[in-house]
């Protein structure tokens, strides 16, 4: 098994992030630092990450979390900030967050130990839709909506057309749902800033067919069989 897939199957991180672990010299095979992402792990070889022996997880788990503000979407943080794993209190198996959700953004996040599913969810070729509910400054005019729906330049990158639905507004702010399929850093905030409507609050409410629903902030649940089947079908 290719070593990045091996690491992902151990519930450490996704395949894409596993490549970086290897390049950073944090992975060893039989005690020797491995820096070849294309290496095939052979039966009986001992693989370690940060000095800890790892092995593939047989039982797969899929958790949907309503991430609060003030948590980082990583398994650990060198600045001592709380991570999303701190919110999962009743799971002993290694899991990792799929993709990222900004420190100041709340909402739907998937955690799993299934590296293959994580890779599918994050791969750009899947063009998986994600919906965010934003509170933006001022009134979101028809002209601004049209620009978002056509794609806007967010600094050397023009976004694909977005789907925009205004939920309500007053003189000071607008509540709006925006659906995109890309995942550039701070993309939604940069899109609204580009049309002169800076974001005040931001929550992700949907990934593909998975919805946040009425799940409380900081709450989480395991995905049901139909939802897991959907993830594998992506």
Backbone angles phi, psi at 187, to 5 degrees: -60, -50
What sections of 82-224 are H helices per DSSP? 115-122, 142-150, 187-194
What residues are annotated to the active site? 102
Enter the tokens of residue 148. 């978002």
SS3 (DSSP) at 65: strand
End-to-end CA distance of the chain: 22
Please report how many Cα atoms fall inside a 13 Å half-sphere around the Cα of residue 99, on the Cβ side.
27
Q: How far apart are CA 167 and CA 214, in angstroms?
A: 17
Q: How far apart are CA 150 and CA 162, in angstroms?
A: 7
Backbone angles phi, psi at 28, to 5 degrees: -130, 150
Are 232 and 118 spatial neighbours (Cβ–Cβ below 8 Å)?
Answer: no
Are 50 and 14 spatial neighbours (Cβ–Cβ below 8 Å)?
Answer: no
* Distances in whole angstroms, Cα of residue 72 to Cα of each of 19, 49, 85, 86, 102: 21, 21, 9, 10, 7
CA-nearest of 155, 153, 151 to 164 is 151
């Amino acid at each position: 098994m290719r070593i990045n897939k091996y690491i992902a199957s151990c519930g450490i991180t996704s395949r894409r992030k596993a490549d970086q672990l290897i390049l950073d010299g944090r992975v060893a095979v039989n005690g020797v630092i491995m820096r070849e992402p294309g290496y095939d792990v052979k039966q009986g070889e001992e693989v370690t990450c940060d000095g800890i022996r790892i092995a593939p997880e047989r039982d797969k788990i899929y958790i949907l979390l309503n991430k609060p503000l003030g948590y980082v979407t990583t398994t650990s943080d060198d600045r001592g900030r709380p991570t999303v794993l701190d919110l999962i209190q009743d799971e002993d198996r290694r899991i990792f967050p799929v993709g990222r959700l900004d420190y100041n953004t709340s909402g739907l996040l998937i955690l799993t130990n299934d590296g293959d599913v994580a890779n599918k969810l994050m791969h750009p070729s899947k063009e998986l839709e994600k919906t965010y509910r934003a509170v933006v400054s001022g009134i979101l005019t028809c002209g601004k909506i049209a620009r978002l729906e056509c794609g806007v330049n967010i600094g050397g990158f023009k976004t694909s057309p977005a789907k925009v639905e205004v939920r309500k507004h007053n003189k000071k702010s607008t509540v709006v749902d925006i659906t995109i399929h890309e995942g550039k850093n701070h993309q939604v905030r940069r899109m609204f800033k580009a049309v002169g409507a800076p974001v005040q609050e931001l929550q992700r409410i949907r990934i593909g067919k998975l919805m946040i629903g009425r799940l409380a902030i900081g709450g989480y649940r395991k995905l049901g069989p139909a939802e897991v089947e959907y993830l594998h079908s992506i």
